[in-house]
């Protein structure tokens, strides 16, 4: 079944269609949300709210973009609203605390280094890199998700890569010789 058909079924109120969509996109949306929020519970809340919004507004999907683009756009709006709310509630606290997540499998130091470097980037750079490299969205789709011009996406990716390399050098003590 095509994704557009699933959305049409959701618009008709079919819960089984929503369950299919959740199975298809839950982990991708969670990864995106966690990359921006840097908090497990907040990311879960953002994804749940995204699917709630999809349930409520599926009939508004006109098919002008891919379903994935629409979903990431909805998720982005949910995250922005969450961050606005937190800004009001927690003006004196850091907004994006890192959770202490215990990891069962050892992860190579290079992966930790890159993860720390990504976390050091501004949210706009983390967001664009996530959509381009992890979600493998073409620049045109990233532009639609973010609601920005295509050339702005290209510029952000360029500067995000540059800043990521700088951050990797900082966290590695200048020892990293790889490239992006």
Tell me: the pLDDT tens digits for 73-85? 999 999 988 887 7
Between CA 12 and CA 6 the distance in angstroms is 10
Tokens for 95? 């907004």
**pTM (2 decimals)?**
0.60
- CA 71 from chain centre, in angstroms, equals 11
Q: pLDDT value at position 56? A: 92
CATH number for 130: 1.10.10.10
Residues 95 and 110 in one domain: no
In the predicted model, is pLDDT for residue 178 greater than 60? no
The arithmetic mean of pLDDT across residues 25-38, rounded, is 92
Between CA 42 and CA 46 the distance in angstroms is 6
Q: pLDDT value at position 47? A: 94
Residues 86 and 129 in one domain: no
Q: Are 37 and 46 in contact (CB under 8 A)?
A: yes
Residues 87 and 142 in one domain: no
In the predicted model, is pLDDT for residue 155 greater than 70? yes
Residues 38 and 122 in one domain: no
Residues 57 and 129 in one domain: no
pLDDT above 90 covers a percentage of the chain that reads: 42
Tell me: the pLDDT tens digits for 117-152? 888 888 888 889 888 888 888 899 999 989 999 999
Between CA 154 and CA 173 the distance in angstroms is 29
Q: pLDDT value at position 88? A: 56
Confidence of residue 162 (pLDDT cuts 50, 70, 90): confident
Residues 10 and 59 in one domain: yes
> Which residues, in sequence order, are CB contacts of 116 under 8 Å at separation 6+?
167, 171
Q: pLDDT value at position 68? A: 93
CATH number for 28: 1.10.1740.10
> Where do we find the tokens 């994935």?
68
Count of structural domains, the chain = 2
Residues 13 and 93 in one domain: yes
Q: pLDDT value at position 171? A: 76
Residues 136 and 176 in one domain: yes
| Per-chain mean pLDDT for the chain | 81
The candidate with the shortest Cα–Cα distance to 144, out of 77, 78, 85, is 77
25-39, 90-104, 152-166: which has the minimum mean pLDDT?
Answer: 90-104
> Where do we find the tokens 């840097």?
38
In the predicted model, is pLDDT for residue 110 greater than 70? no
Residues 90 and 134 in one domain: no
In the predicted model, is pLDDT for residue 58 greater than 50? yes
Q: CA torsion, points 161, 164, 166, 172, in degrees to nearest 10?
A: -140
Residues 114 and 175 in one domain: yes
Domain that holds residue 96: 1-100
């Amino acid at each position: 079944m095509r994704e557009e058909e699933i959305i049409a079924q959701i618009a008709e109120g079919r819960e089984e269609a929503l369950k299919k969509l959740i199975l298809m996109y839950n982990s991708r949306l969670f990864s995106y949300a966690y990359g921006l929020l840097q908090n497990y519970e907040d990311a879960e809340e953002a994804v749940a709210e995204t699917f709630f919004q999809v349930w409520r507004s599926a009939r508004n999907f006109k098919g002008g973009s891919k379903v994935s683009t629409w979903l990431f756009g909805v998720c982005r709006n949910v995250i922005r609203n969450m961050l606005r709310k937190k800004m009001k509630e927690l003006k004196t606290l850091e907004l994006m605390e890192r959770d202490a997540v215990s990891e069962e499998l050892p992860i190579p130091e290079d992966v930790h280094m890159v993860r720390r470097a990504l976390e050091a980037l501004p949210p706009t750079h983390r967001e664009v890199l996530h959509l381009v490299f992890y979600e493998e969205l073409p620049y045109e789709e990233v532009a639609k998700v973010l609601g920005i011009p295509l050339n702005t996406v290209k510029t952000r990716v360029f500067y995000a890569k540059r800043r990521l390399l700088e951050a990797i050098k900082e966290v590695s003590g200048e020892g990293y010789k790889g490239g992006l």
